[in-house]
Amino acid sequence: MILQIQKHIKKATFILIIFTFFLSFDAYAQEEGKCEKALVRCVIDAVSSLPSFSSFYIHIIYCLGGYVFCIKYLKK
C-alpha cells in the first residue's frame, strides 16, 4: 500500500514539474513577443495614414523608435 502511494507521489511530482515547465515557457514566450506584437500593431496603424506617404513614414519611424525602446527596457 505504502509503495503504491509512493509511486503515485512520484508520478504526480513528475507531472507537476512538466506542467510548471510548460507554464514558465509560455510566460517567457509571451514576454519575448511583446515588443514584436506592439511593432506589428503600430505598423498596421501606420497604414491608415496612407496615402500620405510623409505621415506614413513618420509613423513608421515612431513605431521603430517604440520597438527599440521596448526591447531595451523589457528584454534581458
Question: Site for other proteins (CB under 8 A): how many residues?
Answer: 21
Residue closest to 59 by CA, chosen among 44, 41, 40, 46? 46
Q: Is 65 in the site for other proteins (CB under 8 A)?
A: yes
CA distance 29 to 37: 12
CA distance 67 to 36: 7
Question: Min. distance of Cβ 35 from other proteins in angstroms?
Answer: 8
Cell of 74: 523589457
Q: Is 66 in the site for other proteins (CB under 8 A)?
A: yes
Among 43, 48, 51, 56, binds other proteins (CB under 8 A): 43
- Which span sits near other proteins by CB under 8 A: 1-9, 13-21, 22-30, 66-74? 66-74
